[in-house]
């Protein structure tokens, strides 16, 4: 697996979680992996996908973004430099994660309605 040894998630844990969540459903069923959803997706609202450049699932995340983009979805991938799985969780200690959180706030404000109050990155902090 790409990025093995860089991400804190071991491949065996990812495999266990995938098998547990999937149960008896085939891995190429859209209920297991939305990458296999059929039909046009141009009517979906914009989607921002934040992921770490060093996470184990990077390849799968990028494949999802490409697949949905080809089906018409407005996908906005945001790879976090040096980030591992769930990179925004590290925004308090990793500057690229802080930038990603600010970008999420900007994205939410951009996509929100005109009547909504702006969201700041500090409101999104855990």
| CA-to-CA separations, 35 to 46, 53, 105, in angstroms, rounded | 16, 20, 25
Residue 1 located in a structural domain? no
Q: Which two tokens stand for residue 109?
A: 């404000």
Kindly report which listed range (47-51, 72-76, 110-114, 118-122) carries the lowest average pLDDT score. Answer: 118-122
Identify whether 3 is part of a domain.
no
Residue-range definition of the domain harbouring residue 22: 11-124
56 in any annotated domain = yes
Q: How many domains does the chain have?
A: 1
Q: Would you say residue 27 lies in a domain?
A: yes
Q: Using CA atoms, how far apart are residues 58 and 13, in angstroms rounded to an integer?
A: 16
pLDDT digits (tens, 9 = 90+) for 57-107: 999 999 999 999 999 999 999 999 999 999 999 999 999 999 999 999 999
Q: What is the mean pLDDT of residues 37-60?
A: 95
Average pLDDT estimate for 46-63: 96
- The answer as to whether 6 is a domain residue is no
Of the candidates 25, 33, 26, the one whose C-alpha atom is nearest the C-alpha of residue 64 is: 33
User: Does residue 114 have a pLDDT over 50?
Assistant: no
| CATH classification of the domain holding 100 | 3.40.50.1820
Q: Is residue 5 in a domain?
A: no
Our measurement of the distance from residue 34's CA atom to the centroid of its chain's CA atoms, rounded to an integer in Å, reads: 12
Q: What is the pLDDT of residue 126?
A: 43
CA distance 31 to 108: 26
Q: What's the chain's average pLDDT?
A: 88
Overall pTM surpassing 0.85 (yes/no): no
Kindly report the backbone phi and psi dihedral angles of residue 25, in degrees, each rounded to the nearest multiple of 5, phi listed first: -75, 135
80 bridge partner residues: 52
pLDDT of amino acid 2: 77
**Is 4 contained in some domain?**
no
């Amino acid at each position: 697996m790409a990025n093995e040894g860089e991400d804190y998630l071991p491949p065996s844990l990812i495999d266990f979680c995938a098998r547990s969540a999937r149960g008896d459903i085939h891995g190429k069923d859209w209920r297991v992996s939305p990458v296999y959803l059929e039909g046009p997706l141009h009517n979906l609202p914009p989607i921002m996908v934040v992921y770490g450049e060093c996470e184990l699932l990077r390849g799968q995340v990028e494949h999802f973004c490409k697949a949905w983009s080809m089906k018409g979805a407005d996908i906005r991938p945001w790879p976090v430099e040096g980030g591992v799985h769930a990179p925004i969780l590290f925004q308090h200690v990793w500057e690229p994660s802080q930038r990603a959180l600010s970008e999420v706030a900007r994205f939410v404000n951009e996509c929100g309605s005109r009547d909504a109050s702006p969201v700041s990155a500090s409101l999104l902090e855990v």
